[in-house]
Structure 1
Amino acid sequence: MATALDDPTAEVTDLLQHLIRNRCVNDGSVASGDEARSVETLRSHLDGTGLDVEVYEPQPGRQSLVARIEGRDPSAPTLTLLGHLDVVPVNEEHWQRDPFGGELVDGEVWGRGAVDMLNLTSSMAVAVRRLAARGWQPDGTLVFAAVADEEAAGTWGARHLADHQLDAVRSDYVLTESGGIPMKSPGGLKLPVMVGEKGCYWCRITVRGTAGHGSQPYRTDNALVKAAEVVRRIAEHRPEAQIGEVWRRYLESMDLPEEATAPLLDPDRIDGRLEELPLGAARLFHACTHQTMSPNIVHGGSKVNTIPDEVTLEVDVRTLPGQDQGAVEAVLLEAVGDLRDDVEIEPAVFDPATESPIDSPLWDTLARVAGRFYEGSANVPMLIAGATDARFFRRLGATAYGFGLFSRNLRYEDYGRMFHGDDERVDVESLRLSTEMWEAVALDLLGGS
């Protein structure tokens, strides 16, 4: 039986490989995911430790697992380690190795979910199992939640638990994906903590025209041609930059010279500065300071010889803290310009941006713990461009951060490239660091013996 003094590398590596091989691919449909496979893997892994384990299944196969170590003091805080079990689809032809093989090659585990986020889910599970196995009795309660459906809005996972099983997951503090990647700065090593995330506004834009015969296209009102112009305008539109408090504190924490940071803190100069940065940094910095709009799907036309009278675009809009639905749609209409009378915008999903306070006991704990692993390092706040399940818990009043702990072998740019990308993999040293970090955070924040 493992103890807190054991090296967890082999255990967490093996568990990650099993979760990858379970192939819990979520394509957005209710019938996909089948996270029950990985719930069974986790139940088997946690068995025999005395943990209180519950499983919730709002749809067949869409299971989430919640395990608890109850605290002795009802007034002490509750911490939830929140992982998800589903992964996004993959084009296997673009991978060097089997994306569901979970192969261990040269100290790295390959497979879909290796960084998003089965690495952290497996390390959380191992950390909680090790704490329970050693007989740890905390003052505050520790919860481990491994949920379904994170990759498709969380409807059958975290959202379901927050709406229908609140007592099982109610927490003061939540840790989930995806910070903790070492970043070099003039002042030393920095570790990003995701204290907030952008909102999501997915919409359908219907572009209308007039039907006609494809053999006589001259001066016709072709909805597809018009839709192409709408796509071009949205893609080229540049919403005004917004300099939020998290962005400001991030830059100020990086110890960069003033001539480097000043343009990035000036809404009138930041776009020009972004043009000069490496592509990976430019994309991240742009996303942290702008509403983004990405037209990604088009539907239209019925027959090759018929001019279409209606085309539908699906657009992924990501919003900044404070932006409401009306403000988002105003920017879209601004982009469309004089074609606005020919389009209809229908929102499909609106999930506003969320943030947690930076000054909190959890922040202090992460700073102390991270300093033990990386001496002289400092945590820096950051806004994540995508969405995580943390938003559901922030809306319930929890302070929720995205964190982890990774080796110096993983560059931030590589980490971002592998998210939903090809040849996803993680080194076993990062798995060990994350596992030991979760244990240390639980002991520091929740106390006990």
Structure 2
Amino acid sequence: MRGANGPRRSEVLDEQGESIPAPGGADSWTTADPEAGAGAAVTLLRALIREACVNDGDPASGQEIRNVRVLQRFLSGVPDGALEMQVFESAPGRASLIARVRGTDPEAPALGLLGHLDVVPVDPDGWSRDPFSGEIIDGEVWGRGAVDMLYLTAVFACVLREAALAPERPRGDLVLLAVADEEAGGEYGLHWLLREHPGALRVTEVLSESGGMRFGDHVAIGVAEKGSAGRRLIVRGVPGHASIPYGAQSAAVRLGEVMQRLALFEPAIQLGELWSRFVSARVSDPRLAERLRDPVRLDAALGELGGIAGYAHAISRVTLSPTVLRAGKTHNVIPGKGRIDLDIRTLPGTTDEEVDELLRQMLGELADRVEIRHLRGWAATSSPTDTPLYAAVERAVTAVSGAPVVPNMAAGGSDARLFRELGIPAYGFGLLGPSWSYERYREHIHGHDERIDTGSVGLALEALRRIVRDRIG
């Protein structure tokens, strides 16, 4: 569908009947009130949280159509012709929203704002409040998805609406890509959209998640993500009655031997330019920084990094994490087959052949008795830091926060990689408050009691406004 949906109005109601205020008036593109805009983004965030679009990997889960409807209501006050909206469903309820403000110059950049609408499951027993209430407590919005990444999706929608309500069209396109299924790999979201409706996603540069946290006195902006090279290791033994274990060849025991080797194995350290910049931003002690830049001494120094040591370990090498172990079906039968599933995260440039060789090195003399099968994966991706968009992000974030920017690599993955694979620069954006260290950021993503302060929502909103004006205003 194209154009606005519903009546033209300056106020939209969420499912609970609460007002979602418009972010500024008709001239908000150039003179938006930061406080008013932040209030709209916070109210929209709360509405998105309450829809509980939980994605557990089952094709019927997610039901992101509910959050699509929230965004449609929020954008419904835009005059006809100022905004093009399309809803795509890859399966019943698995909906994504593409909303575009067209610019006046077809040669100008088309800036994509990529946000996802789904959230990961919760364990209610681990939460001190209702994980889908969207409550505001002491200036913080509580709920699953508050940090990952509904606050940014709300900020993206607010800036898009401001652009659509402005008295003049921007020079280039501004596109909201609010997609389904990011948390389970994107097969019902961006993967499907790029395959089935690539024309609707026409952008030349992209901002998404995985940025804005503080590395010391710097603000991190994501320019790269590790790849995924999942593997299944199959071991075989000889089944038999468990009452006679002498001389048995149990697949369970062989799994244990493989697990022991995995626990002791460390892939080679590989340090690149991003590593050095991470150390410079995060480590103030010159002696510790020197040790961290030395591959021989790095591991001995990791423990001195405190809560960020795990991240530092992850981005300095390929990592192998056993996640699923299975052998046997009943307690009185020696299993004849077992398996270990590995989550393997790779650095840029790592090939599938190199991953398989790494596993053979780990297995040693066991390699001939273990079958290696490939699971789903993708290559590591990165975007250069010499693009106009990255420069605009750097200027905006520094102007709003007063802090310099440092490019970083995400240990996990996001939908942004799909645009990088197409040669489109994509960056992990965000701007969180000074107390948001990387450790705090990681604690809240997929964790209990997820929440974000309203001040950080306002910072991200103001930084994004500056970027959009810089690139297409």
TM-score range, shorter chain: over 0.9
User: Which residue of 44, 63, 87 maps to 1:34?
Assistant: 63
What residue identity is the alignment partner of 1:18? A
Corresponding residue of 2:16: none
Q: Which moved more, 1:193-202 or 1:155-164?
A: 155-164
Structure 1 residue 255 displacement after superposition:
7.6
User: Which residue of 247, 267, 286 maps to 2:313?
Assistant: 286
* In the alignment, structure 1 residue 422 sits paired with structure 2 residue 448: yes
Structure 1 residue 254 displacement after superposition:
5.4
* In the alignment, structure 1 residue 431 sits paired with structure 2 residue 457: yes
* In the alignment, structure 1 residue 214 sits paired with structure 2 residue 242: yes
Q: Distance in 2 between matches of 1:254 and 1:98?
A: 35
Q: Distance in 2 between matches of 1:360 and 1:9?
A: 28
What SS does the corresponding residue of 1:93 show, helix, strand or coil? helix
Corresponding residue of 2:211: 179
Q: Which moved more, 1:229-238 or 1:80-89?
A: 229-238
Corresponding residue of 2:13: none
Structure 1 residue 135 displacement after superposition:
3.3
Figure out how many residues of one structure are paired with residues of the other and give that number: 441
What SS does the corresponding residue of 1:392 show, helix, strand or coil? helix
Higher relative contact order (CA 8 A, sep 6+): 1
TM-score by length of 1: 0.95
Q: Counterparts in 2 of 1:265-284, with a 5 A limit?
A: 265-278=293-306, 280-284=307-311
Preserved CA contact (<8 Å) 1:300 1:311: yes
Structure 1 residue 246 displacement after superposition:
2.1
Corresponding residue of 1:128: 160
Q: Distance in 2 between matches of 1:82 and 1:267?
A: 36
Q: Distance in 2 between matches of 1:330 and 1:395?
A: 25
User: Which residue of 350, 364, 388 maps to 2:391?
Assistant: 364
What residue identity is the alignment partner of 1:420? H
Q: Which moved more, 1:147-156 or 1:255-264?
A: 255-264
Q: Distance in 1 between matches of 2:322 and 2:283?
A: 36
What SS does the corresponding residue of 1:59 show, helix, strand or coil? coil
What SS does the corresponding residue of 1:276 show, helix, strand or coil? helix
Structure 1 residues 28 and 235, CA, compared in 2 at 3 Å: closer, same or farther? farther
What residue identity is the alignment partner of 1:291? V
What SS does the corresponding residue of 1:66 show, helix, strand or coil? strand
Q: Distance in 2 between matches of 1:157 and 1:340?
A: 38
What SS does the corresponding residue of 1:321 show, helix, strand or coil? coil
| Gaps in structure 1 of 5+ consecutive residues | none
Q: Which moved more, 1:429-438 or 1:107-116?
A: 429-438
Preserved CA contact (<8 Å) 1:209 1:342: no
Q: Distance in 2 between matches of 1:440 and 1:116?
A: 23
Q: Which moved more, 1:61-70 or 1:331-340?
A: 331-340
User: Which residue of 388, 399, 411 maps to 2:437?
Assistant: 411
Preserved CA contact (<8 Å) 2:430 2:460: yes
| Gaps in structure 2 of 5+ consecutive residues | 1-9, 11-22
What SS does the corresponding residue of 2:295 show, helix, strand or coil? coil
Q: Distance in 2 between matches of 1:78 and 1:249?
A: 30
User: Which residue of 32, 51, 68 maps to 2:83?
Assistant: 51
Q: Distance in 2 between matches of 1:292 and 1:160?
A: 29
Q: Distance in 2 between matches of 1:302 and 1:252?
A: 52
Structure 1 residue 216 displacement after superposition:
1.2
Q: Counterparts in 2 of 1:179-198, with a 5 A limit?
A: 179-184=211-216, 189-198=217-226
Cα deviation, 1:23-77, whole Å, max 9, x if unaligned, reads 1111112111111111111111111213211111111111111111111111111
Cα RMSD for the two superposed structures = 1.5
Preserved CA contact (<8 Å) 2:98 2:178: yes
Q: Distance in 2 between matches of 1:136 and 1:173?
A: 22
User: Which residue of 372, 380, 383 maps to 1:353?
Assistant: 380
Q: Distance in 2 between matches of 1:262 and 1:56?
A: 51
Corresponding residue of 1:322: 349
Q: Distance in 2 between matches of 1:205 and 1:302?
A: 18
What SS does the corresponding residue of 2:88 show, helix, strand or coil? strand
What residue identity is the alignment partner of 1:272? A
What SS does the corresponding residue of 1:275 show, helix, strand or coil? helix
Q: Distance in 2 between matches of 1:235 and 1:68?
A: 49
User: Which residue of 250, 260, 263 maps to 2:278?
Assistant: 250
What SS does the corresponding residue of 2:146 show, helix, strand or coil? coil
Q: Distance in 2 between matches of 1:330 and 1:295?
A: 17
User: Which residue of 209, 229, 235 maps to 1:201?
Assistant: 229
* In the alignment, structure 1 residue 339 sits paired with structure 2 residue 366: yes
Preserved CA contact (<8 Å) 2:325 2:339: yes
Q: Distance in 1 between matches of 2:98 and 2:328?
A: 47
TM-score by length of 2: 0.90
Q: Distance in 1 between matches of 2:321 and 2:269?
A: 17
Preserved CA contact (<8 Å) 2:215 2:281: no
Corresponding residue of 2:5: none
Cα deviation, 1:171-212, whole Å, max 9, x if unaligned, reads 22110011112333xxxx311111000001122221211101
Structure 1 residue 257 displacement after superposition:
5.0
Preserved CA contact (<8 Å) 1:235 1:295: no
What SS does the corresponding residue of 1:444 show, helix, strand or coil? helix
User: Which residue of 37, 45, 48 maps to 1:19?
Assistant: 48
User: Which residue of 303, 309, 312 maps to 2:339?
Assistant: 312
User: Which residue of 49, 59, 64 maps to 2:96?
Assistant: 64
Structure 1 residues 301 and 407, CA, compared in 2 at 3 Å: closer, same or farther? same
What residue identity is the alignment partner of 2:472? L
Q: Distance in 2 between matches of 1:85 and 1:407?
A: 23
